[in-house]
Amino acid sequence: MSSSTTLPPPPIKSPHFSLWASPLSPLANFQSSSSLPSSADVVIIGSGFSGASVAYHLLVDPSSSTSSSYYHQNPSLTSSPNKKPRVVMLEARQTCSGASGRNGGHLHPSFTYGAATWATDDDATRNQHLAKIAFDAKNYSTLAALIAQNNIASAQSIFTDGPNNSPSSSLAAGWAVYDTPQEFAQACAVVSAYIQASPEPDHPPIRIYSRDEARKRTGLTNIAGALHCPATPLCGYSLVSWLLMECITKGNLQLHSNTPVRAVTRETPEAVGRDKPLEYVIKTSRGPIKTPVIIFATNAYTGNLVSKSTVSPKAYLDSIKQSVSPEVFARGSSAIVIPPSSQVTVKDYFSSARNVLSSTSSSMQGPAASLNNNPMHIDVEIETRLRTEIYPVRGQVAHYQAPHILTSQHLTAVRPTGVPKLSLVWNDEYLAVVPQRSGDAQGQVDIVFGGCRRFGASKQVGLTDDNSLSNVVSWTLDDYFATRIGVPLQSSEDPVEAMAGSFTRTLVLDDSKEANGSVATTTAVKVQEWTGIMGFTRDERPCVGSLIEDEEEAQAGPRVLVIGGFGGHGMPRIFLSAKALVHRYLRKVDDTEEANSWPLWFPSEYIN
Ligand SMILES: Cc1cc2nc3c(=O)[nH]c(=O)nc-3n(C[C@H](O)[C@H](O)[C@H](O)COP(=O)(O)OP(=O)(O)OC[C@H]3O[C@@H](n4cnc5c(N)ncnc54)[C@H](O)[C@@H]3O)c2cc1C
């Protein structure tokens, strides 16, 4: 069966600038050659953390045998002299301009998967949660070692206190804090089970602090408890740039930014000749490229390329189109919109969308209309299957700058000496303190604070415009920053005016004390704000694996793989998910007995 569909055309062409992309990577607009090669052994679509991690494990990772013994049944397809696969990466916009280059900047493993239902879960379910926790922790340790061993300066500057520190001494810890005693108790139950199951973890110990101690140590006055756990701010943009540079210099990766994929089709035996292996034809803005192996590392946009087999791509598309946020899309439009309620759930979102779809036909106007005119839509003419839909959800992040004294005073978790850094999460909010990236202002730090999307229209579900902001979320972030972090906000701004879009609010701290006890007035200033598009799944698990039914796969023909749907929690899951994907599908088939199997450490729940 062939499905051909015109989908909403994300990614949009020009996303808003993010802090992490400053300075811009030399790979931002990189194209390995002036014209696309006509063929490749593997084509990766998407240059975020997922795509870069797959490329790295395929081409460079010394612990993976694939870099020298690439899978494929037909050796003639591996035409490069050193037997490394010829890998081409296609990116619609600038390199790493998706979620990976515009996120909240936390490598913050979760040690509390399944907390809400832990008390009633059976042993098998609890073990699945523990497997996911162990996987997060393994990603953390692996990335820590990678960054330290390779002296990845741009990432290391916020990961460690100095270039020569060993990973174990320099690993930062962070905080997960809880609002209510019930949430804290649930978290403690899971983390205690993990500690018991992993008596000698290869990461710093997790410490549990009950209310008073947690308040004292974090400086947060209204929390019920906290976990001090392995976590760190990390610039995903820098890490991805480093991974890609390694792939280009050591693995001859062909990177082509600003090259949107527009269509994916499969050759027919009639067209090619019955005795020739079939390949896919990927049509891009710069011409076609043929390959036997495609990897969709397209995150939030994956749902625009492939869809769960039980839901037609058309219905999926229309649900996204019709359920867009009223705040962003409704002006002047006849489109029916979901009320901007913080109560809208994903289920409501999908069902409302379908109801609307059956009762209304309308065209989008405003920003959506201009997106519609964008030619970056995809025709997929191959049958594919996702375990569950991946759908776009927009997150928003604000960047404040503050004197170091401010964070030291109010976030006592910041190290008293050395480079300040902090990773703090609670509810859906996340706050990172990092040394000022520009490095030109003594004693200043950058504070990146994100979340609060539940206050935005329809929880920002379905939005793919990362060049605009939700003013409601923007204002709520400011308010939370002031009230939750405890920095007094001296602002006469009316919230309504603030929501009109000023980025120059000043948060004034008038009670901070210098080391000598004198009182100083210091301020935090909001510098900029941006949005990014996350890829969520209905079952809240990533989709990693094959997009083709097993029977087809058994014929060892062309391969269509996916890695995506990491939601707002990709940094502690993606790197080793990519390694598992490469191990499972792209190793040379006769390598070891383990070939063609998933590594034991990979959570089976994530398999597509
Ligand atoms: C605002 C925000 C805050 C976040 N904060 C955190 C955090 O603090 N910690 C954490 O762990 N996770 C966080 N996340 C989630 C994390 O950033 C993601 O899980 C991760 O970056 C996903 O990486 P990816 O490579 O799968 O996707 P992306 O980085 O989105 O990469 C996908 C790429 O595919 C490209 N693409 C799509 N369609 C096409 C096409 N047709 N042709 C060519 N290219 C295409 C896109 O342009 C994009 O560059 C956050 C996400 C957002 C948006």
Cα–ligand 1 centroid distance for 135 (angstroms): 20
Cβ < 6 A, ligand 1 pocket: 11, 45-51, 90-93, 97-100, 102-106, 236, 260-261, 297-299, 301, 378, 395, 397, 430, 450, 532-534, 564, 566, 568-572, 574
pLDDT digits (tens, 9 = 90+) for 286-333: 999 999 999 999 999 887 666 444 344 445 445 544 444 333 322 222
Q: Whose CA is nearest to atom 15 of ligand 1?
A: 568
pLDDT value of position 553: 55
pLDDT value of position 61: 83
Q: Give percent of the chain above pLDDT 90.
A: 40
Q: Whose CA is nearest to atom 37 of ligand 1?
A: 298
SS (H, E, C) 328-341: HHCCCCCCCCCCCC
* Residues facing 520 on adjacent strands: 512
Q: What is the mean pLDDT of residues 108-116?
A: 96
Q: Other C-beta atoms within 10 Å of 279: how many?
A: 20
Higher-scoring residue by pLDDT: 341, 185: 185
Alpha-carbon span 463 to 174, nearest angstrom: 30
Say if CB 46 and CB 297 are below 8 A apart. yes
pLDDT digits (tens, 9 = 90+) for 365-419: 222 323 333 334 455 667 777 888 788 899 999 988 877 666 655 554 444 445 5
Cα–ligand 1 centroid distance for 536 (angstroms): 11
Q: Whose CA is nearest to atom 12 of ligand 1?
A: 569
pLDDT digits (tens, 9 = 90+) for 149-176: 887 766 654 444 443 444 434 456 688 9
pLDDT value of position 36: 97
Given pLDDT bands bounded at 50, 70 and 90, which one contains residue 594?
Answer: low
Given pLDDT bands bounded at 50, 70 and 90, which one contains residue 478?
Answer: confident
Given pLDDT bands bounded at 50, 70 and 90, which one contains residue 499?
Answer: very low
Ligand 1 atom index nearest CA of 533: 53
Q: Give the pair of three-digit tokens for residue 222.
A: 């209204």
Q: Other C-beta atoms within 10 Å of 117: how many?
A: 11
**Which of 13-22, 97-106, 433-442 is most confident?**
97-106
Given pLDDT bands bounded at 50, 70 and 90, which one contains residue 275?
Answer: confident
Higher-scoring residue by pLDDT: 65, 127: 127
Beta-carbon contacts of 281 under 8 Å, excluding residues fewer than 6 positions away, are 264, 265, 266, 267, 288, 289, 290
pLDDT value of position 587: 72
Q: Over the chain, what is the mean pLDDT?
A: 75
- Which domains are assigned to the chain? 25-101+238-320+375-389+538-606 (3.50.50.60), 106-234 (no CATH), 393-536 (no CATH)
* CA 11 to each of CA 17, 271, 394, 597: distance values in angstroms, whole numbers, following the listed order: 14, 32, 12, 33
Per-residue pLDDT for 280 more than 80?
yes
Q: What is the mean pLDDT of residues 522-534?
A: 85
Shortest CA distance to 399 belongs to which of 99, 158, 103?
103
- DSSP string over 360-427: ------THHHHHHHSS---EE-S----SS-EEEEEEEEEEEEEEHHHHHHH-TTS-SSSS--EEEEET
Ligand 1 atom index nearest CA of 531: 1
Q: What is the torsion angle, in degrees rounded to the nearest 10, for the CA atoms of residue 486, residue 487, residue 493 and residue 496?
A: -40
Given pLDDT bands bounded at 50, 70 and 90, which one contains residue 581?
Answer: very high
Given pLDDT bands bounded at 50, 70 and 90, which one contains residue 522?
Answer: low
- What is the 8-class DSSP label of residue 587? B
pLDDT value of position 163: 38
Shortest CA distance to 102 belongs to which of 181, 49, 179?
49
Q: Select from 27, 294, 301 the residue to mutate for testing ligand 1; criterion: most ligand atoms less than 8 Å from CB.
A: 301
Per-residue pLDDT for 192 more than 70?
yes
Given pLDDT bands bounded at 50, 70 and 90, which one contains residue 338?
Answer: very low
Rounded to 5 degrees, φ, ψ at 573 are -130, -25
Say if CB 395 and CB 13 are below 8 A apart. no
Q: Which of 52-66, 120-134, 209-223, 589-603 has the lowest mean pLDDT?
A: 589-603
Q: Select from 31, 93, 103, 429 the residue to mutate for testing ligand 1; criterion: most ligand atoms less than 8 Å from CB.
A: 103
Q: What is the mean pLDDT of residues 533-542?
A: 92
pLDDT digits (tens, 9 = 90+) for 413-446: 444 445 567 788 988 899 888 766 665 556 677 8
pLDDT value of position 409: 54
Q: Report the run of H or E that residue 464 belongs to, with start and end.
A: none
Q: Give percent of the chain above pLDDT 70.
A: 65
Given pLDDT bands bounded at 50, 70 and 90, which one contains residue 588?
Answer: low
Q: Whose CA is nearest to atom 10 of ligand 1?
A: 569
Q: Whose CA is nearest to atom 49 of ligand 1?
A: 98
pLDDT value of position 390: 85
Ligand 1 atom index nearest CA of 397: 1
